[in-house]
Structure 1
Amino acid sequence: MADEFYYNTETGQVEQGKQSTWSHLMGPYPTREAAQHALEKARARTEAWDEEDRRDR
């Protein structure tokens, strides 16, 4: 859909609608701003999961 936004990991740009191959896209996100913060959110989630794994050992 054209009203969804994607973060392109190859270019570092936000795209409106699917303009690139799925292998380079994160999303969809409801807003351009949400897509701009895709990597930050992914890093934060990964760090939280890693911390949870360390506590479970």
Structure 2
Amino acid sequence: MGESDSAWYYCLKHHRAEQGKRCWFADRMGPYPDRATAERALEIARERNVSADARDES
């Protein structure tokens, strides 16, 4: 398994963490180092958006 095959992604189509590039690139977020982090993908994106919005307001 290559590096990209062992990485974890969050699939927006299936709403779950998946290992490897199984789904279309536009349907996945990542790569992430492990399953637990991939499962938090939407939470991580929300946190980054809040942080970016705060910087924009400064």
- Gaps of at least 5 residues in structure 2 are none
TM-score, normalised by the number of residues in structure 2 = 0.87
- In the alignment, which of 10, 20, 24 is matched to residue 21 of structure 1? 24
Aligned-pair identity in percent equals 38
TM-score, normalised by the number of residues in structure 1 = 0.88
- Gaps of at least 5 residues in structure 1 are none
- In the alignment, which of 44, 50, 55 is matched to residue 53 of structure 2? 50
1:37 is aligned to 40
1:10 counterpart SS class: coil
**Matched residue count:** 55
Q: Which has the larger radius of gyration?
A: 1
The Cα RMSD (Å) is: 0.9
